[in-house]
Amino acid sequence: MDITAQMVKELRDKTGLGMMDCKKALTETNGDMEGAVEYLRKKGALKAAKREGRATSEGRIGSYIHMNGKIGVLLELNCESDFVAKTDQFAELVKDLCMHVAASSPRWIAPTDVPEEIVAKEKEIYTVQAQEAGKPEKMLEKIAEGKLKKFYSDVCFLEQPFVKEPDKTVAELIKEKIAQLGENITVGRFCRFQLGVGN
């Protein structure tokens, strides 16, 4: 069965979850709206969505050194309580995210962190590329938006495919952990050092 944008929107309105989560749930349940809600409940995604937006003032700072000391990462991961911050699951997540930063070299945490002038410049480049490829004028905006999404998935930490499981994004991995641990989890900041780069 074809999953339409309208169906995805309806499920998003019902659950408050992201487009990809809703599309996957509808695909898994063959377009059955109630079945999709049930699917999301079983996966813990609805619980995770309710936790988002809650204050995260606890957590821990993790580090990771790679390639005989040639790449290093520091990362702050936040949660709601000291209790969760001390769990093995949270520590494992911090370690995995540090490794991801070392491997994937993100520049920003989320698309909203990318400076407006960089977004505008990228969009301009994509528009010119599409024009030069002879694409119709009315398609240019849509093409540029599509390429911008790809740009975000290359440079934004939360949008990148998770290095250990590339079929999910870092944001999806964090949502899973929110559902498992029962607390909101946010990435505070990160810093990646590479020997000889940026000196």
- List the chain pLDDT tens, one digit each, 199 residues: 788 888 888 887 776 666 778 888 898 888 888 888 888 777 766 555 666 666 777 999 999 998 788 999 999 999 988 999 999 999 999 999 999 999 999 999 999 999 999 999 999 999 889 888 888 888 888 888 999 999 999 999 999 999 999 999 999 999 999 888 888 999 999 999 998 886 4
Q: What is the pLDDT of residue 14?
A: 72
What are the structure tokens assigned to 122, written together? Answer: 């990228």
To which H or E segment does residue 97 belong?
A: helix 88-104
Q: What is the pLDDT of residue 52?
A: 63
Q: Which domains does the chain have, with CATH numbers?
A: 5-43 (1.10.8.10), 58-109+156-194 (3.30.479.20), 115-155 (1.10.286.20)
CA 153 to centroid of chain Cα atoms = 8
Tell me how far apart the alpha carbons of residues 98 and 44 are, in angstroms, rounded to a whole number: 25
Tell me how far apart the alpha carbons of residues 172 and 5 are, in angstroms, rounded to a whole number: 20
Output the pTM of the full model.
0.70
What are the structure tokens assigned to 21, written together? Answer: 């989560």
Q: What is the pLDDT of residue 187?
A: 95
Handedness of CA 118, 120, 123, 125 (dihedral sign): negative
Helix, coil or strand: residue 192 = strand
Q: What is the pLDDT of residue 91?
A: 96
List the one residue out of 108, 117, 114 whose CA is nearest residue 158: 108
Helix, coil or strand: residue 62 = strand
Helix, coil or strand: residue 165 = strand
- Distances in whole angstroms, Cα of residue 38 to Cα of each of 29, 34, 130, 188: 9, 6, 42, 32
Q: What is the pLDDT of residue 53?
A: 62
Tell me how far apart the alpha carbons of residues 31 and 109 are, in angstroms, rounded to a whole number: 33
Contact criterion met (CB below 8 Å) for 109 and 156: yes
Q: What is the pLDDT of residue 13?
A: 72
DSSP string, 17-54: --HHHHHHHHHHTTT-HHHHHHHHHHHTHHHHHHHTTS
Q: What is the pLDDT of residue 66?
A: 87
* Residue that the structure tokens 């409940």 belong to: 41
Q: What is the pLDDT of residue 50?
A: 60
